[in-house]
Structure 1
Amino acid sequence: MRRPHQADVLIIGAGPAGSACARVLARSGVNVLLVDQHPAGRDKTCGDGLIPDAHKALARLGLLDEVMRRAEPVAHVGCIGPRGGRIDVPGSLAVLPRKELDALLLQAAQDAGARFGQARFEAPLEVEGRVVGARLKRGDEMVDVQARWVVLATGAVPKALTAAGMCERHTPSGVALRGYVKAPQMVGRIKALEVVWDKAVRPGYGWIFPAPDGHFNIGVGVTDSHRDLGGGKGRKKDVNLRAIFDAFVAKYEPAAELMRVGELVGDLKGAPLRCTLTGAKWTRPGLLVTGEAAGSTYSFTGEGIGKAMETGMLAADAILAHADDTAARAAYETSLTALKPKFDLYERANRVNAHPWLADLLIWRAKKSPRLLQRMSGVLNETSNPGNLVSVKGISRLFFE
């Protein structure tokens, strides 16, 4: 990063949203500077599951084949209820650790022509109320970068949103705890993306995902972890993720065996989640917010990689389609508003985490109803609405279909 520092678009955050946005813009000839406070190849606490929306986004980026060459392919999501019932829901699925996925996406953005630098966002630069760049900190040096657009793709931590005047909720929507276990002897025995509901892990869920090279991603999540106190403030509920993780391992025998025979690689790591496309303003003159900073993670499942990339590309599309600031912002806000009903239905489905007997009911009925199993698969493929499965009408249909 040399003086003078200028770009058409300055993107803050080199995760899936930021790198996807950068690649789309750079492939169209836009001068893109992508920065992140961490060096390339940093780790990110995540379940690492790539569900169909992620496959679709990667295909648009021209990266699906490369990702699938490195990822662990998976054919089903295994839904396990409190009574031990199980239904395997088919889908196009894979697992690739975020450290490797994010490095691949960043390299793809650079291959398309985007420049990358390690720096931390400090504050927007403004002229008459419009953002015209950002002040960045690189080591001990403050650097001003002028840009026609600034895109914030800074994830769930609200510090950058607050500095930019975009934060409407300082506390997260949820929290998760993840670890990697190396257990070659379990390969072939845990083959699905296993998601487990039980009173022991209420109001959350546990998961085990098979990863490449004999590793497994194991964790727990709670997607309604903070009480809203109004005014952007919140308070954490009585949620102890480590206690929930220990309860999950004690209750679910495959998790217990995995931890018993395998080797924990590194530490268990926690992370916040921002869900439901809420908690932040999406735009202001000269600035767009995208990815998990905009709340692109789904409630209920905690899945967010695909929607992060999708929203990042929507930001790029709006910038490319409209030279006028107002028109570009309106286009981007319209595209996110079109996604919002889908996020709201996942929020409604979140009641399964608080009432795990609903999972038992769905699993019991799906074993008897190919039609219901098809609808559950449609949730993965985004052709069915998850909230409808656990509505009063949806539950009634389980008994009369």
Structure 2
Amino acid sequence: MAAADWDVVVVGAGPAGSAASRVLAQAGWRVLVVDQQPIGRDKVCGDGLIPDAHQALARLGLLDAVMEKAQRVRHVRAVGPRGGHLDVPGSLAVLPRRQLDELLLRAAIDAGAVFEQARFEAPLEVEGRVVGVRLKCGEALVERRARWVLIATGAVPKALQAAGMCTRHTPSCVALRGYVHAPSMVGRITELEVVWSKAVRPGYGWIFPAPDGHFNIGVGISESHESIDGKGHKKAVNLREVFDQFVAAHPPAAALMREGRLVGELKGAPLRCSLEGARFSRPGLMVVGEAAGSTYSFTGEGIGKAMQTAIAAADALLAQGEDAAARARYEAALDALRPKFRMYERANRVNRHPWVADLLIWRGRKSAKLRQRMSGVLEETSNPGTLVSLRAIHRLFLE
């Protein structure tokens, strides 16, 4: 086998790819980060940084740098179909992905990684082991050899398919997001508003306050695809219509759109959730971040878990074991996360039946113990499934 040009090629320069690149470059590895978009590219996302993202950023040594640019927020405001709300405290912030991703990538470069703008075409293989990548740079096809390849390309399945790692082509959920500049709304929308109503069932709407008088507004629809004859098909969902219905049903959203100015266009994106839809590794290759399904299905939050899975992959590689040992260590780390993802799958009951949100808000306003459990869900110290199981719903009437 020809000598490797790099210790690792990381395909994808989002939070997952940049997190793994920074950890490995800091350890002295020769790291090449590849993305088909230039530094500072946009990404459709809610931009919310919840506690798991804060923890991952702290591990990377970047929490203070991110928080200097982010809009700090004190609570998630859960809003029910009848308009009632409950504020759940947590370590929270909002930073648009264009800024977050550039900061993370430049931090990886500062640690010694090299960035190359190119499109991933396929892995290079020798006797069944991945030994590098084939890239398209402009009109030229080039090869970059490496001891390891990490796929961190997000929810779009093309790279997974090319690498032979895709087990489900359709996404778990779909979302539509826009930015609105509305200085008049600063101080009126101050929390991470997550809104459940019939207008967005099965899903939710959101408004997150961002820096400089901007707001991130959007809708997410869970269970957006179904299997027919073994093939995935998109259900009859028009995201723009759902967005308009959300705005009409939620007065703060209507005020935001009326008083503000839409910056750019509304953009849609798929999500891959619950650690499903892809193989995690094969000889010489690992899949990290949302490509591995690192987004929570109930909340649609994925930035923190994307970084967490990537850091787990980097740690496995740095353990200096054989190929099989490194992959086994990484897959064991993901398996350890599965119970949390299953809990959030069960919590999808709220997205399917928004009246459950009304019930939780009603009881939460009366019960400090329940508010504490809801805060624990946000901090990942409590099981969200225990809030929305049939037994838990029955217990709400007794607390």
Q: TM-score, normalised by structure 2?
A: 0.98
Match in the other structure for 2:172: 173
* Mapped partners of 1:230, 1:332: distance in 2: 33
Amino acid at match of 1:296: S
- In the alignment, which residue of structure 2 is the partner of 1:263? 261
Match of 1:361 in 2: 359
Match of 1:285 in 2: 283
- Measured against aligned partners, the alpha-carbon deviations of 1:67-110 in whole angstroms (never above 9, x if no partner) come to 00000000000000001110000001000000000000000000
Counterpart of 1:222? Answer: 221
2:292 maps to a residue whose letter is: A
* Match 1:274 to one of 266, 272, 286: 272
Contact 1:202 1:354 in 2 (8 A): yes
1:139 aligns with 2:138: yes
CA contact (8 A) 2:209 2:216 kept: yes
The corresponding residue for 1:249 is 247
Are the aligned partners of 1:277 and 1:295 in contact in 2 as well (CA < 8 Å)?
yes
In the aligned structure 2, how far is the partner of 1:74 from the partner of 1:344?
27
User: Does the 8 Å CA contact 1:291/1:311 hold for their aligned counterparts?
Assistant: yes
Query: 1:12-51 residue pairs with structure 2 within 5 A?
Result: 12-51=11-50
Could you tell me which amino acid in structure 2 is paired with residue 33 of structure 1?
L
Aligned to 1:10: 9
Shift of 1:239: 1.2
**SS of corresponding position for 2:274:** coil
* Paired residues of 1:5 and 1:144 also in contact (CA < 8 A): no
Matched ranges for 1:187-202 at <5 A? 187-202=186-201
CA contact (8 A) 2:76 2:192 kept: yes
Mapped partners of 1:207, 1:112: distance in 2: 35
Q: Deviations over 1:16-59 (max 9, x none)?
A: 00000000000000110011010000000000000000000000
- Whichever residue aligns with residue 396 of structure 2, its letter is L
Alignment of structure 1 residues 2-401 onto 2, 5 Å: 6-229=5-228, 231=230, 233-401=231-399
Structural RMSD (CA): 1.0
Count of residue pairs the alignment pairs up: 397
Q: Assess if the C-alpha contact under 8 Å between 2:10 and 2:17 holds in 1.
A: yes
Rounded Cα–Cα distance in structure 2 between residues aligned with 1:274 and 1:112: 29
**Deviation (angstroms), 1:322:** 3.0
Give % identity. Answer: 72
Instruction: State the alpha-carbon separation in 1 of the partners of residues 88 and 369 from structure 2.
Output: 12
Distance of aligned partners of 1:153 and 1:230 in 2 relative to their CA distance in 1, 3 Å threshold: farther
SS at match of 2:294: coil
Q: How far has the Cα of 1:176 moved from its partner?
A: 0.3
Q: Matched residue of 1:14: which SS? A: coil
Gaps of 5+ in 2: none
Distance 1:145 1:309 in 2: 24
Instruction: Please say if residues 282 and 333 of structure 1, whose CA atoms lie closer than 8 Å, have aligned partners that are also in contact.
Output: yes
**Contact 1:32-1:113 at 8 Å conserved across structures:** yes
Question: What runs of 5+ residues in structure 1 fail to find an aligned partner?
Answer: none
8 Å contact from structure 2 (residues 4, 147) kept in 1: no
Question: Deviation at 1:5?
Answer: 7.5
CA distance in 1, matches of 2:229, 2:121: 26
Question: Contact (CA 8 Å) 2:78, 2:87: kept in 1 or not?
Answer: yes
